[in-house]
Amino acid sequence: MKTSYIISLMLFSSIGVSLCSCSLQPLAWNPPQKPEMKGVLEENQMLTQVSKIDLQGWYGPEDIVQDSLGNIYCGVHIGKEDFSDGKILKISPQGKVSVFYDAGSWVAGLHFDNRGNLLALSHKEGLIRIDPQGKASILLDRDDKGRPFYIPNGLDLAKNGTIYFSNTSHFKPYTVRYGRKVILEAKPLGGLYAFNPLDGKLKTLIEGSYFGNGVVLSENEDFLLMTETSKYQIIRYWLKGPQKGQTEVFMQNLPGFPNGISRRKNGSFWLGFSTKRNDALDKIHSKVWLKKLTYALPEVLQPKQEKYGMILNISEEGEILSAYFDPTGESVPEAGSVKEFEGILYIGGDIVPYISTYKLNSED
């Protein structure tokens, strides 16, 4: 009886692994040898000296913005790995946390327009505009081919009102497991878009991206940058000049999984990372069968995101100017979102329950 039970259990387990592996249809990819952590990339302890704004049980401040009165806003979800519900939180200069908008889902990209409306990327409603009283209207919920924006991600706003944003996938809403699938499959999904709210027209700038994530305009708005998390790189799309409409790699072979990107007043950029590179993941990317097997493993056996805080300041030419680390991940376990307001870095991420703040000095 005991033997037959064990055989049955093994049989069902093997069937389960087989079915799970079949649900992943990955492409082979050979990542470049990761850069050495030396020179400007030499690890330091700078991000271990942070303060924290508790989000009162909510998780995932993926993007962070500030209004003219000094209030901070961020999108959050209900649990560390539960993205089934979410809000936009408002945090006063005194630290009071309240719900500004009940999104019913996680909200990623945020940006205020020149009328004080909050533009947001809701994983339930798409691109929305929320007035100062908290009333929302849907601007766009699918692309020009009728595909839904299941994981709208990074967002920036041009001076002429054009809204630029990315969408990681039009196949499924975000879960931690689906995020792993997108990374392992290494397929170009979603894309990069430009939307004109005056005439309601949407233009696809890039069809398909490799976990398209953070989006930012250059200071002169002559080009647009988008991070591609699963390929460890940043893509540049030219908006003006002789290369207008062309796409190129702006930075590649980054030391981690790039996520949020934002512009400083001096024209350079803050680049945040979800975590550092994983040697085991890099090694299996070229082996389709091994990626299938990894994805089919029970959740407890699958590789987890390592706690590791990393932020780079990069120039408009793609040069790394400075780097900030928390190698232990105790103070800043991830730095997926990085925004600078009044000399302070506000740092968030996909699954952290707080916003970290780091005070810059005159040399930063």
Query: Please, are residues 211 and 226 in contact by the beta-carbon 8 Å criterion?
Result: no
> How does pLDDT run across 282-314, given as a tens digit for each residue?
999 999 999 999 898 887 777 778 999 999 999
- Please tell me the predicted confidence (pLDDT) of residue 10: 35
Average pLDDT of the residues in 316-329: 97
Q: What is the largest CA-CA distance in the chain?
A: 76
> How does pLDDT run across 73-92, given as a tens digit for each residue?
999 999 998 999 999 999 99
Average pLDDT of the residues in 193-197: 97
The pair of three-digit structure tokens given for residue 187, joined into one six-digit string: 């397929």
- Please tell me the predicted confidence (pLDDT) of residue 303: 73
pTM confidence score: 0.93
Q: Which of 183, 254, 147, 208 has its CA nearest to residue 26?
A: 183
Question: Is 2's pLDDT higher than 50?
Answer: no
Question: Is 109's pLDDT higher than 70?
Answer: yes
- Please tell me the predicted confidence (pLDDT) of residue 298: 85
The pair of three-digit structure tokens given for residue 212, joined into one six-digit string: 């398209």
- Please tell me the predicted confidence (pLDDT) of residue 364: 82
Sheet order of strands, 126-130 included:
107-112, 118-122, 126-130, 136-140
Average pLDDT of the residues in 346-362: 95
> How does pLDDT run across 123-149, given as a tens digit for each residue?
999 999 999 999 999 999 999 999 999
Cα–Cα distance for residue pair 351/163, rounded to 1 Å: 26
Q: How confident is the model at residue 22 (pLDDT cuts 50, 70, 90)?
A: low
Q: Which of 186, 239, 178, 223 has its CA nearest to residue 208?
A: 186
**Under 8 Å CB-to-CB from 250, ≥6 apart: which residues?**
225, 233, 234, 235, 236, 318
Domains of the chain with bracketed CATH: 2-359 (2.120.10.30)
Cα–Cα distance for residue pair 227/349, rounded to 1 Å: 15
